[in-house]
Structure 1
């Protein structure tokens, strides 16, 4: 059979060996650009109306969680969430500020939008670690939290929460301690002391006495006392006190103000 002619070979040699050239994209027509722009504007306007102008996404209810002493009704009243307001534009920071100002018992609050119609208030209340006698002579006690914040009053003592007795002398070293640190600092030192106590001792503590910065003592159930000293080296003092109580279970007085040389006495 005869092979390809010279003309056929020339045609084949001229055929491209690579991929076909890419097609050049045509720019969109001005009319198409205008239509797309109008569609975006209408879409944005419609979305804005849905969020802020329609009745579809407005506040209709408020839920409260996390309360222990406060009631949900108290929290809702203090929050003063504007029902009927657009959910998207609601100022959650202002709600949080109102709650913390009106209800000092609240330590933290998370204001959450619950689409499409709700607001959730997740509350964390302060926990008292000490009680102080009401300074207004109105009876009852002031609750003090772990940061030394005095946040609420109660009419009667709370079980397993010790009473703080601030009895600094106005003269001598105790008076100098009061003038130097102030009452607030001495309260925080008492809080630090309570935080360092072994769990069993903390449950038995009825009174924390603060006479000066480095003269803190405890009164426990059964008339037992503990000389704690300052709030420093709390972990070492806790270990020393635990060891003393095991070694001398009948002792009435314990001194761990110098944790490397603890002492006990009485029976």
Structure 2
């Protein structure tokens, strides 16, 4: 009797290659179960490591960025709970405590540094003006925030004089804007002064919202007006001081019509 043809033998070989579909499914199922169990164990281990292990508890608090303050002052204000799990540390609460206790600090980043450290990266405020009262000086930063009182004036920081009258139009300005707003306007005006002149500014006087003046070295003065159009006033002042270098008084309150006088 004749045997199977070549085509029939090829079909048999193709049909018998690889495991049956049921066997393949069982293999895949076993692999999936093994992977699922492994993930469960890994997840449990990670959870225990973060929330139960002594390997990731806070042991150190580092501080960077201080200039006037000391790292010890920042650590004391932060009151980071040593021994607590790093993952459980309330970074928002630490930031709030530092902001309340140390107004000199403008910003603070609280960073979890695994496995056992909390980093405090701070930025201190820099005074741009000083308010003098008695023998003390209140430092004012670029946002108009009064953040510290010191007994010695920092070198090169101009004095701010609030010469606002309690009567007349100046009183109306005070009632409308408030003292804090007038301080911010003075800061804004001082910040617009060109660099070539800024180093010569010794004082900023505020009589009202639109009556701000500068006192320079050499007994010179500048009528700045309001803090508006600061860039135009800076350009006008630079040109005016070059054209009238011997003048003692400069007026850029209207930057399109600057004027100078005295010699």
TM-score under structure 2 length normalisation? 0.89
User: Aligned runs of 1:1-267 on 2, under 5 Å?
Assistant: 8=5, 11=8, 23-24=20-21, 25-27=24-26, 40-134=39-133, 139-267=135-263
Question: Which range moves more in the overlay, 51-60 or 22-31?
Answer: 22-31
Gaps of 5+ in 1: none
- In structure 1, what is the Cα distance between the partners aligned to 2:249 and 2:86? 62
Deviation at 1:222, TM superposition (A): 1.2
- In structure 1, what is the Cα distance between the partners aligned to 2:172 and 2:163? 13
Deviation at 1:50, TM superposition (A): 2.0
- In structure 2, what is the Cα distance between the partners aligned to 1:10 and 1:181? 100
**Deviation readout 1:205-246 (Å, 9 max, x if unpaired):** 111000011110011111100000011110011011111111
Q: CA RMSD in A?
A: 2.8
Deviation at 1:258, TM superposition (A): 0.7
Deviation at 1:49, TM superposition (A): 2.3
Distance change >3 Å, CA 22–CA 234, structure 1 → 2: farther
Deviation at 1:36, TM superposition (A): 6.5
Deviation at 1:17, TM superposition (A): 8.5
Gaps of 5+ in 2: none
Distance change >3 Å, CA 10–CA 87, structure 1 → 2: closer
